[in-house]
């Protein structure tokens, strides 16, 4: 081997760099362990301890030292499935951005195009492109994007803007740029909010040009608080309000009007005595005052006063909103009330007629105008701080700019003279509506008070300082993993990795003797390099990533197996040990096969990385890094040990006494039985397709159809069917509950309101889940049930949401990923082997494998004791199967090509049979390695990836079969007779 010294130098250098990079992880873990021991079971105390030592020196290398914060930033990053935390994908509303850019145009073509783009949005299509398509269709050339009443308005004119002479294509370029700027602005606002929140190692990134932003917050535990922080638009507004005496007549008239459509004539229950009777003075003794006969007032649970029109239960707000939107109700508003805007307050607690505390929200009527704009917007706020009011309650103080101070003085002066109230509204929620008792307020300083806790005032000040989002940011996908679940995943991953490594090492020593030891040493270095590279570049380790590492254990020895098997062949042909080694490492030895096999791996891994998201990207990245490090260690490091042996004892045989004659005289006619394998495979394919399309279908997970999933741990075993029925009744829609591992743990899936976005919807779902399951947790509060914390044993351990829009994208990406992988491999093999028949044989085998695995999942998902859902993990498994199926096939095809170039005697079928038989040891050895590590992961890797591993396990077994009994027979049957005769004439000449 040339340049052996240089290779040693780089190997030592890489090893030292890897050890250096990984040392930060060990130090950080030790400090965290000390913090945990110091804090006991108190996570807040642990966090304060780590914060307090952030700037202290904890790692001294002699020539330099590092603080804990520096060490923490250099450690190997763990994904949320290992660390615990929250992952969300936010969709910035491009529709809202377009409305803003068009100055809320009333143009019917513009608004119809917005509606059409929303209704017809397809997977993998951006909203902006769909809007342009809809506008072109709706306008049909009669209206231009650059019309003065659409985008050629004052705010969009000027340098780099739009003028009314622009063509639609030119206007589209400007609009795209402006939308991009708005998304960039949203990204910066979210970045600032997150930085001030104080989460360790947050990750926020834009996802291409989709208007989506990925946010990962490792260690974050308060689910509802985080979602409010991220999803809140921070649209601060100041509105004048109507008083109850001004709007009371409208409420009475509305109640009367609603009786005509909402009241059943036969109800005669007595009305409870409360302040509502004061509004019904003309009907106290009539039948109309019976409980149930007052659609609006019956929903009130408390008396209003001042700007508060009444108190209602949160569950009734949607109904009341619907009442006030009705044309026959709004027409009852007085002449000066036509633009009234009805909004709600933050939830508060209230004692009902029985003295029991209940949750309630206040109803307000804001004084709107034709343009629905407030008296003053929050854009004038220059600074906000969390503080405490005169009563010692948490509050937020604000300072306004000079313009805002002037308007604020006018506004408060008017409220003082009219004895009115000013509602402080954030994202359409009233936080407070104080009166003004001491005259106009000058200087622009004000304070928001209300039923806050300290965390809420900190978050409110945070979002006000960061600024408002240019458009709403809806959470379309989210995953929440508790820290205890993350630790369980780490434990499962560690056990499976160590066990898989030991089994691979034992087999290599058993089969290849001393050469196997050399391969194992190279494997150890391979793992060091792999982790070192991940730590150096800040890559994230996920649970599927650990699966990728375990797979790397199996594939890392694949190159060594190919080389060792080739060396044994060269030795059997009479070459010396040094000659056999040189030949086996040569291009015409094992190198061509190794390169061809690994290129197919790289292609499928790259496609998986491009189309995958979240943990799947982690799996693909680990796989790709593993391929590179495996090739380096297998080809160069193991070679160094082998050359040392040749220079010393020279006793290598690449086998043991037990295995030296295995497969040496194996001559099976694989082509002869092709009719039987065709029939068997055809039956399997037909049965699979019938099951998929006509009988069982596939168990599509929320990744493909949208929905919410919760992993819920109960205090004792429960009946999944009973839980499913109870939850279905509570949600009013089917809810699926499946056992996950033990009978005290369920995976709960619901599609309830999945097409509706917003923090309020997410919280509503969480509340419904808690209320429906509360009897199983009599001593558990909502916060402890939903939110994560260290040591959590029961309640929601993990939850995820996939919105309808992103599920379409995931499904579309999955189809393209599988088809793209097959197409790319087809092209590569056609270029490499220069005959399309090789590509056809390989693709036939791959298609067979994919259908086989899909068929198994379709036939078995209803009764298997683990989940077999179609999701991103399953697609990752399919692409991995494609790569490894190609691996086996390419090795056989390379041997066929080698024998065709050589002087092998016999017919074309004899040459193909000989190729399969002479590579059988390598094929079965590699497959066995893969099966060993996959079985290890299947048994010990944890419940969450068991279905993912099972798909790969079935795929590897079937892939080995198809390489031997499908790919090569198809090649034989599609090669033309002329080509066969040419090959046979050449090989059978004297």
76 DSSP 8-state letter: P
**Which distant-in-sequence residues (6+ apart) come within 8 Å of 105 by Cβ?**
99, 111, 149, 150, 153
For residue 966, pLDDT over 60 is answered with yes
**Most confident range, picked from 324-328, 427-431, 975-979:** 324-328
pLDDT digits (tens, 9 = 90+) for 355-386: 778 888 999 999 988 777 888 887 777 888 88
Spatial separation of the C-alpha atoms in residues 121 and 129, rounded to whole Å: 9
pLDDT digits (tens, 9 = 90+) for 763-817: 888 888 988 998 898 888 888 888 776 667 788 888 888 877 677 777 777 778 7
Which residue is associated with the tokens 């090893």? 15
| Whole-number Cα distances in Å, 42 to 39, 49, 200, 226, 777 | 5, 11, 18, 21, 22
Spatial separation of the C-alpha atoms in residues 76 and 533, rounded to whole Å: 10
pLDDT given at position 221: 67
Q: Quick one: pLDDT band at residue 124, thresholds 50, 70, 90?
A: low
pLDDT given at position 342: 94
Closest CA to 47 of 198, 203, 227: 198
pLDDT given at position 197: 62
Spatial separation of the C-alpha atoms in residues 171 and 378, rounded to whole Å: 31
Closest CA to 24 of 472, 399, 532: 532
Spatial separation of the C-alpha atoms in residues 642 and 624, rounded to whole Å: 26
pLDDT given at position 279: 47
Which of 19-28, 308-317, 349-358, 766-775 shows the lowest mean pLDDT across its residues? 349-358
Closest CA to 228 of 346, 322, 393: 346
| Stretch 913-941: mean pLDDT | 83
Strands 540-541 and 77-78 turn out to be parallel
Which of 148-157, 211-220, 509-518 shows the lowest mean pLDDT across its residues? 211-220
- What is the 3-state composition of the chain as percent helix, strand, coil, each rounded to the nearest 5? 60, 15, 25
Q: Quick one: pLDDT band at residue 589, thresholds 50, 70, 90?
A: confident
For residue 679, pLDDT over 90 is answered with yes
With a pLDDT cut of 70, the percent of the chain lying above it is: 89
pLDDT given at position 340: 92
Spatial separation of the C-alpha atoms in residues 54 and 48, rounded to whole Å: 10
For residue 917, pLDDT over 90 is answered with no
For residue 683, pLDDT over 90 is answered with yes
pLDDT given at position 363: 94
Neighbours of 9 (CB within 10 A): 11
**Which distant-in-sequence residues (6+ apart) come within 8 Å of 530 by Cβ?**
549, 552, 622, 625, 626, 629
pLDDT given at position 851: 92
CA torsion 615→619→624→626, rounded to 10°?
Answer: 130
For residue 95, pLDDT over 60 is answered with yes
pLDDT given at position 660: 80
| Whole-number Cα distances in Å, 426 to 308, 347, 423 | 17, 14, 10
Q: Quick one: pLDDT band at residue 209, thresholds 50, 70, 90?
A: low
| Stretch 174-198: mean pLDDT | 78
Q: Quick one: pLDDT band at residue 195, thresholds 50, 70, 90?
A: low
| Stretch 109-137: mean pLDDT | 84
Q: Specify the DSSP element, H or E, that contains 425.
A: strand 422-426
| Stretch 182-202: mean pLDDT | 72
Spatial separation of the C-alpha atoms in residues 562 and 925, rounded to whole Å: 10
Spatial separation of the C-alpha atoms in residues 559 and 438, rounded to whole Å: 84
User: What does pLDDT average to over the chain?
Assistant: 81
For residue 146, pLDDT over 50 is answered with yes
Identify which has the larger pLDDT, 694 or 666: 694
Strands 707-713 and 795-802 turn out to be antiparallel
| Stretch 920-941: mean pLDDT | 82
pLDDT given at position 312: 92
Spatial separation of the C-alpha atoms in residues 790 and 780, rounded to whole Å: 16
With a pLDDT cut of 90, the percent of the chain lying above it is: 9
Closest CA to 941 of 619, 634, 493, 588: 493
| Stretch 823-827: mean pLDDT | 84
228 three-state secondary structure: helix
| Whole-number Cα distances in Å, 10 to 7, 22, 639, 676, 933 | 5, 18, 15, 52, 30
For residue 609, pLDDT over 90 is answered with no
Identify which has the larger pLDDT, 233 or 828: 828
The alpha carbon dihedral of 237, 240, 242, 243 has a sign of positive
pLDDT digits (tens, 9 = 90+) for 695-751: 988 888 787 888 888 888 898 888 888 999 999 998 888 888 888 777 888 889 898
pLDDT given at position 615: 65
pLDDT given at position 271: 42
Identify which has the larger pLDDT, 203 or 959: 959
- Strand 394-400: give its sheet, edge to edge: 381-388, 394-400, 445-448
pLDDT given at position 234: 62
Asked if 208 and 240 touch (Cβ cutoff 8 Å), the reply is no
């Amino acid at each position: 081997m040339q340049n052996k010294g240089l290779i040693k130098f780089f190997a030592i250098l890489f090893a030292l760099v890897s050890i250096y990079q990984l040392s930060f992880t060990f130090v950080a873990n030790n400090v965290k362990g000390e913090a945990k021991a110091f804090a006991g079971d108190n996570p807040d105390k642990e966090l304060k301890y780590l914060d307090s030592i952030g700037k202290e020196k904890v790692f001294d290398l002699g020539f330099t030292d590092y603080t804990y914060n520096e060490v923490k930033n250099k450690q190997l990053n763990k994904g949320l499935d290992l660390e615990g935390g929250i992952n969300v994908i936010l969709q910035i509303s491009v529709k809202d951005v377009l409305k803003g850019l068009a100055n809320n145009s009333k143009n019917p073509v513009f608004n119809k195009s917005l509606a059409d783009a929303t209704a017809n949005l397809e997977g993998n299509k951006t909203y902006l492109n769909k809007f342009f398509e809809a506008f072109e269709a709706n306008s049909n050339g009669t209206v231009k994007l650059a019309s003065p009443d659409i985008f050629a308005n004052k705010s969009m004119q000027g340098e780099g803007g739009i003028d009314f002479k622009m063509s639609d294509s030119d206007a589209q370029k400007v609009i795209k740029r402006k939308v991009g700027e708005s998304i960039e602005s949203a990204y910066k606002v979210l970045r600032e909010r997150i930085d001030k929140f104080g989460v360790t190692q947050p990750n926020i990134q834009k996802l291409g040009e989709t208007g989506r932003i990925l946010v990962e917050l490792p260690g974050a535990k308060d689910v509802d608080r985080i979602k409010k922080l991220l999803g809140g638009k921070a649209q601060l507004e100041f509105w004048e309000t109507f008083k109850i005496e001004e709007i009371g007549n409208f409420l009475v008239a509305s109640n009367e009007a609603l009786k005509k459509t909402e009241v059943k004539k036969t109800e005669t229950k007595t009305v409870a005595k409360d302040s509502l009777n004061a509004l019904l003075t003309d009907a106290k003794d009539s039948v109309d005052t019976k409980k149930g006969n007052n659609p609006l007032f019956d929903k009130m649970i408390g008396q209003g006063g001042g700007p508060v029109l009444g108190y209602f239960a949160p569950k009734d707000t949607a109904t009341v909103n619907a009442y006030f939107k009705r044309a026959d109700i709004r027409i009852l508003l007085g002449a000066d009330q036509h633009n009234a805007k009805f909004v709600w307050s933050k939830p508060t607690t209230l004692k009902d007629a029985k003295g029991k505390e209940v949750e309630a929200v206040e109803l307000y009527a804001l004084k709107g105008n034709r343009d629905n704009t407030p008296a003053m917007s929050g854009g004038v706020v220059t600074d906000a701080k969390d503080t405490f009011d005169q009563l010692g309650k948490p509050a937020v103080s604000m300072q306004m700019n000079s313009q805002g101070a002037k308007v604020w003085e006018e506004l408060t002066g008017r409220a003082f003279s009219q004895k009115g109230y000013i509602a402080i509204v954030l994202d359409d929620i009233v936080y407070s509506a104080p009166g003004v008792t001491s005259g106009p307020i000058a200087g622009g300083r004000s304070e928001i008070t209300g039923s806050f806790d300290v965390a809420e005032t900190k978050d409110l000040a945070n979002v006000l300082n960061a600024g408002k989002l240019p458009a709403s940011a809806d959470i379309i996908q989210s995953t929440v993993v508790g820290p205890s679940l993350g630790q369980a995943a780490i434990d499962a991953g560690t056990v499976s990795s160590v066990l898989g490594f030991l089994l691979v090492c034992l087999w290599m020593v058993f089969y290849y003797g001393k050469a196997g030891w050399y391969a194992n040493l190279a494997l150890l270095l391979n793992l060091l390099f792999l982790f070192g590279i991940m730590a150096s570049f800040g890559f994230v380790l996920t649970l599927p990533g650990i699966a990728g590492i375990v797979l790397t254990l199996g594939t890392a020895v694949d190159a060594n197996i190919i080389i060792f098997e080739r060396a044994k062949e060269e030795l059997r042909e009479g070459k010396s040990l040094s000659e056999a080694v040189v030949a086996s490492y040569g291009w015409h030895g094992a190198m061509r096969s190794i390169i061809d096999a690994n290129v197919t791996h790289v292609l499928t891994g790259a496609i998986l990385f491009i189309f995958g998201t979240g943990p799947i990207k982690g799996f693909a990245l680990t796989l790709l890094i593993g391929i590179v490090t495996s090739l380096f260690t297998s080809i160069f490091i193991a070679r160094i040990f082998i050359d040392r042996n040749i220079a010393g004892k020279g006793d290598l045989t690449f086998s043991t006494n037990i295995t030296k004659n295995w497969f040496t005289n194996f001559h099976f006619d694989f082509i002869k039985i092709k009719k039987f394998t065709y029939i068997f495979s055809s039956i399997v394919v037909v049965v699979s397709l019938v099951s998929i399309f006509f009988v069982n279908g596939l168990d599509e997970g929320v990744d493909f159809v949208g929905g919410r999933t919760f992993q819920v741990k109960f205090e004792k075993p429960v009946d999944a069917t009973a839980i499913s029925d109870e939850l279905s009744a509570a949600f009013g829609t089917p809810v699926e509950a499946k056992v996950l591992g033990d009978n005290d743990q369920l995976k709960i899936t619901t599609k309830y309101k999945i097409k509706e976005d917003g923090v309020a919807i997410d919280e509503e779902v969480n509340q419904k889940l808690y209320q429906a399951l509360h009897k199983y947790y009599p001593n558990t509060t909502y916060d402890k049930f939903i939110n994560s914390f260290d040591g959590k044993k029961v309640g929601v351990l993990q939850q995820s949401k996939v919105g309808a829009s992103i599920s379409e994208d995931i499904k579309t990406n999955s189809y393209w990923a599988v088809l793209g992988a097959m197409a790319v491999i087809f092209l590569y093999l056609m270029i490499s082997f220069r005959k399309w028949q090789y590509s056809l044989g390989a693709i036939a085998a791959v298609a067979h494998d994919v259908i086989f695995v899909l068929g198994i999942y379709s036939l078995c998902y209803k009764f298997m004791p683990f989940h077999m859902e179609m999701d991103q993990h399953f697609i990752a498994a399919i692409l991995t199967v494609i790569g490894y199926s190609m691996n086996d096939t390419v090795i056989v095809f390379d041997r066929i090509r080698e024998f065709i170039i050589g002087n092998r005697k016999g017919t074309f079928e004899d040459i193909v049979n000989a190729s399969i038989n002479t590579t059988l040891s390598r094929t079965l050895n590699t497959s066995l390695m893969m099966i060993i590590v996959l079985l290890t992961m299947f048994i010990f890797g944890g419940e969450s990836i068991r279905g993912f591993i099972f798909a790969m396990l079935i795929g590897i077994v079937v892939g080995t079969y198809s390489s031997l009994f499908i790919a090569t027979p198809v090649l034989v049957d599609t090669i033309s007779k002329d080509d066969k005769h040419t090959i046979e004439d050449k090989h059978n000449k004297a």
